[in-house]
Structure 1
Amino acid sequence: MVPRDKDHEMQIANESIWLESIVQLHDGYEVDAVARFTDRLLRLASSRLPNRLQQRVDPEDIVQSVFRSFFDRNSRGRFQFEQSPDVWRLLAAMTYRKVKKTIRHHGQQLRDVRREASTPSDFPTAQDDAPTASSWVVMMELLEGILEQIPETHQRIVRLRLDGHSIDEIAATVGVTSRTVDRALSLVRKVASEMMGDE
């Protein structure tokens, strides 16, 4: 029987090897990633799509789109991973973002094109669109990952903004100009957009 500490060390080593295969673009890493994450991403996509919309949109199509975006951007060196859980956080955030875009797209299509005889109840209300506990966890993990990549001053700016402070209040608290605050927030939005595969 393998001791628990040895088993834990082997697991860490295996995860490290797996992460290296993604970073180094080893042959077959895409197949491994699809096998590892598809079921979890499908559950996430299904939980965020309103039931009536799932009659029009297959969650599997969303997940496949996420993987295509992920593999394309990863092949161009757009991502940086320090630990294997970072890959899941990124894929989950990309899935969340693509679901939101899908909901917006179909809502716009209903309003502007009117090609289908549907009622507004086919699409999410403000209550339907409220984030679940699981989606909040994903988004907060993503935010923490972003904050780790930016200077400490920028981190303070973002946290103050999340607390509801105005640009001028943040500038006075941190001791920078309002323009610096704007630049910091723009940087965070850019990093978040890239991490989530926004197109």
Structure 2
Amino acid sequence: MPQDDEWLIQGLTRGDPEAARVFCERYAPMLQRVADKYLADGMRRRVGPESVCQSVCLSFLRRAQAGEFQLPDSESLWQLLCAITLTKVREKARYHRRQKRNIERERPLNSPMGRNTDGEDFDLADPHPTNVDAVEFQEEFEALLADLDDEERQLVEIKLQQNTNEEAATKMGCSERTVRRILKRIQSKVSRGLQSG
């Protein structure tokens, strides 16, 4: 099967899985390099270029299949992908600089004693909890989960597997905004559970 530009663009519009595979193989490494170039150093602690690239590919493939793009050639395709990548990088930067999430508020721990650059001390968790601690934690965790509905429990399981909100949204078949709303619900329930416990 010829894998020239015209075939690729038409295949992406039709939602052809083979075209999507070729698209990812061809463009993902280049998009990752673009994201890597424009991500600020501080942002890399929270967002990797690979996650930006994955988000770009998912957005593009979904919108291409919906017929949102007119792409006459590979140069137009590449320009569009770069524009989407830069937009995603800016969105991530805005998200991680808002209020309590602001990346500028992070303070590194400079020593094992738990003292940060402002001289404040922190109690560090024991890296080796006892069996009793582990059992107590498990019981408390299960009690907190018992107050959640099925959708909330599903999201907790997905997030415990280190998935981003975007990945969770894909797995749950909903928007990232919905995932954030469910997370707020969970946080509120857990907070009430901890206060009453």
Provide TM-score, normalisation by structure 2. Answer: 0.48
**Structure number with higher relative contact order (C-alpha < 8 Å, ≥ 6 residues apart):** 1
State which structure, 1 or 2, has the greater radius of gyration over its C-alpha atoms.
2
